[in-house]
Amino acid sequence: DSGVTQTPKHLITATGQRVTLRCSPRSGDLSVYWYQQSLDQGLQFLIQYYNGEERAKGNILERFSAQQFPDLHSELNLSSLELGDSALYFCASSGGTGGVQPQHFGDGTRLSIL
């Protein structure tokens, strides 16, 4: 158990819809990262938050947005969903912003777009 909690585990929805994925980091971790992993693709970094502030941005589409709340949990919002958005979405947390700070991953949310 990594200590990172993601909900829901599975999500099935239709094109054009909007969903929210939720992540609770490990106790004490200030950084939260979001990744997308499609079939046969590597982990694609989407965005990082540190203590409530956006820290780094990766290949995140404009239809996607995220935030980190004062209690450090984070949400990833995906809107105007397309078939290609079907993927595993992972959240990870770490204690800081750099250095030897391995990321601890949640079990992921599997998003299926019909």
Partner 1 sequence: GQNIDQPTEMTATEGAIVQINCTYQTSGFNGLFWYQQHAGEAPTFLSYNVLDGLEEKGRFSSFLSRSKGYSYLLLKELQMKDSASYLCAVRDTGGRDDKIIFGKGTRLHILP
By beta-carbon proximity to partner 1, the closer residue of 43 and 61 is 43
Using only C-alpha atoms, the chain has a radius of gyration, in whole angstroms, of 13
* 75 lies in the binding site for partner 1 (CB under 8 A): no
Q: Which of 9, 16, 51, 57 binds partner 1 (CB under 8 A)?
A: 57
- C-alpha separations of 35 from 13, 26, 73, 85, 91 in Å: 20, 17, 15, 12, 6
Cβ atoms of 29 and 104 within 8 Å: the answer is yes
* 90 lies in the binding site for partner 1 (CB under 8 A): yes
Q: Tell the smallest beta-carbon distance from residue 53 to partner 1 (Å).
A: 12
* 56 lies in the binding site for partner 1 (CB under 8 A): yes
How far apart are the C-alpha atoms of 64 and 50, rounded to whole Å?
A: 18
By CB under 8 A, name the binding residues for partner 1. Answer: 2, 33, 35, 41-45, 48, 55-58, 88, 90, 97-100, 102-108
